[in-house]
Chains A and B, each alone.
Chain A
Amino acid sequence: MNNLIYTVIPADPSIFRSETIQRTDADGSVWFIPTDPANSDYQAYLATLAANSAPTAQ
């Protein structure tokens, strides 16, 4: 999928909230993704992070 925008929603212990990832799709729909390694949306998020942090050839 293309044109995905990710936002990290940090944990907030004061209201017992865990960290989640917010993904906004090209069609405007918003998804909230748990930080579960078995969740394929989270896997895609991690893959995007890895791709964006990979060093580029000089």
Chain B
Amino acid sequence: MSRAQLTSTVEQNTGGAVAPFVAGKNFLANGGFDIWQRGTSSVNPSANTLLADRWYMYFNAGAATFSQETSNVPTGYRYAMKIAQSSASALQLLQQTIETSACLAFAGQNITASALVATSTGTVPVTLDVQYSTSADAGIGGTYTSATSVASGTNTASTTYSKAWNTVSIPSTAKSILFRMLANPVPAGTSFYITGIQLEIGSVATPFSRAGGTLQGELALCQRYFTSIASNSSAVYTYYGNGFFYGSTGAKLFFSLPVTMRTNPSLSLVNPTSMQLQYNNTNQGVVASGTGLDQSNGQTVGMFVNVSSGVSVGTACIMTSNAANTAIQLSAEL
């Protein structure tokens, strides 16, 4: 337990001890890189794609691999993001957007971004840039303006983890926030590591706390934007949903989502040809082309699923997979 801090050096001396781990203090989801629903490694990702939940990736030259790091992590953390720059000196970037409903409290306030950063060799300058938009829910494609920095740390990553921080002033007109971490330049042959990313109201970089408060809270927060319903890794039958055949080769299915999503999500099937529609104990049809989204409302999803073989109209069915590499993914990213 520690006392709340009034400034970077003065602790609050009234009101008793205050735990630094407070749900909702940190406005950035998955700042400790606990949640990786899309996978744990991406080689030369396209601009503004995601790997660790909620973090858009970008690098501007050479070749880079973004991956989950479990060895070189600070004390008290299980994961970090590792960005290995294998050729050319490059700018590396992680970004996260914050929707309007979550960040209106920033308007007219000083807010502080912080992160634990390290390198495999040498030093790399780090910038924690906070940008704002006067448009609601501007998203990753929006137009933003950098907020004015009022104080910052040295912000240079070296071979041991250190805390980078930057306090900025957010105008009262701000309606959307874009947080950007820039490591630049990262020389070829250097890996950059980052975890414990936090954005909080006030002028002090306090100890990291998960935005969701707990591991389950963090997962639920991430699932507001992206949900992956993945098959069992041991390749034992996974059941995705149930429905009925409206035609001899077409069925309608529905399933419920674990968390209400931000908006009606987009849908993708991972390895759909390893999925089947089972309609009795011995017969099943492999999912075929023409499968797609029917309706979604953020809480439930309906799908059209086609199979090649004819089935009696009105027959009930369930969608299954006996492979370890299938998933239904839903995206309501900002």
Contacts and interface: CB of A to CB of B under 8 A. Distances in A.
A and B part of one assembly: yes
Interface residues of B, number: 31
Nearest to A9: B292
B268 A34 contact: no
Given A20-B292, A22-B292, A26-B46, A39 B266 contact: yes
Contacts of B270: 29
Interface string A36-50: 101111111001000
Nearest to A22: B292
Interface stretch (B78-86, B163-171, B212-220, B293-301): B293-301
A1 interface: yes
B292 A43 contact: no
A1 B141 CA distance: 11
B53 to A, nearest CB: 15
Interface string B137-157: 101110000000000000000
Interface residues of A, number: 26
Contacts of B247: 15
Classify the secondary structure of A's interface with B: mixed
Nearest to A35: B264
A39 B263 contact: yes
Contact of A2 (B46, B137, B294): B46
B291 to A, nearest CB: 9
Given A1-B46, A30-B269, 8 more contacts: A1-B47, A2-B47, A18-B294, A22-B292, A32-B292, A33-B266, A34-B293, A40-B139
